[in-house]
Amino acid sequence: MSSRELELASAAAELWTSPDQEIGYLARLFSQTSLPYQNPGDLPVWYRRNGALTLTVQPGVRIDAHGNPKSLGYPYGTVPRLLLTWLSTEAVRTKSPELVLGESLSEFMRKLDLTPTGGKNGTITRLRGQMERLFQANLSVRIDDGDPDHQAGAKLSVASSYDLWWAKGDQPALLPSTVRLTGEFFDEVTTRPVPVDLGALRALRRSPMRLDIYAWLTHRMSYLQRQTVIPWEALRFQFGSILKDTKQGRQQFKRDFERHLKEVLVVYRDARVEITPAGVVLKPSFTHVPFKGVRALQRSADALEGNSFS
């Protein structure tokens, strides 16, 4: 086994033997579509498609000292995915769109084994850059059901405002700061949240595709009632690829997806999944977060009466 496989097996074993689940939440949209895995570069717009649903992302813009507009870049990789989970979890726990960052965010990072560190290559530096990209990005959703007489869509950007204060020097802590979620994002995550296991995110955190596959499987298995085949072409549109739409590119995507899916199944052992030439077969399975755990967490959130956790 490679060092990565050993690390994943060790994390999965710890997850299997843990008596309690640490439950977090994710907005349903991000279990159906995803953000970029790598930096898309200087593109005017980026998109992902899942059936009739299309997510489009446009980067925010800043004006430099000479008055020239400069793209802030796209949110990409594991950091914005984990940040979205924290924002969603806090929104459900506190029942408020106004979230206080600081020790609670640092504690969340530690739970995922992302020790807050300063410096040019530290986790705080990456978090700072990806946080601004995520908060400034314009996200929108369009529904195309094939009916020429029907139009549907929505704006679903994450933050309506934010006020961030970062510690000076190499101090890792994010000082007390606030972010206000947009009404659309807050409603999406509090009315239709997807529960996820934070231990699973910790085990899978080194790959954004693994995180996406886990969130997708967890959501699909929560309502799947009959065996379903997801074609490879649909998976390629949903999970995306920087590879070209060629025979070689499609084959490489299939290999990459199979490899990451198998790693997710090490953690999510109850997911009944079969890989076939036609696509991925999903069979009704136990959800990864038992409903009794979700209800217990909701009762805990009710007791908090709007207080953030630490």
Which amino acid is it at 237?
F
Residue 272 main-chain phi, psi, to 5 deg = -95, 105
In this prediction, residue 70 has a pLDDT band, given cuts at 50, 70 and 90, of: very high
pLDDT digits (tens, 9 = 90+) for 248-305: 888 999 999 999 999 999 899 899 999 999 999 999 998 888 754 444 444 444 444 4
Residues 187, 191, 192, 194, Cα dihedral to 10°: 100
Q: Say what the pTM is.
A: 0.84
pLDDT digits (tens, 9 = 90+) for 156-197: 899 999 998 876 644 545 667 889 999 999 999 999 889 999
pLDDT digits (tens, 9 = 90+) for 197-232: 988 898 898 899 999 999 999 999 989 999 999 999
In the chain, where are the structural domains located? 1-22+207-289, 29-191
- Is residue 91's pLDDT more than 80? yes
The answer for residues whose C-beta is within 8 angstroms of residue 228's C-beta and 6 or more apart is 281, 282
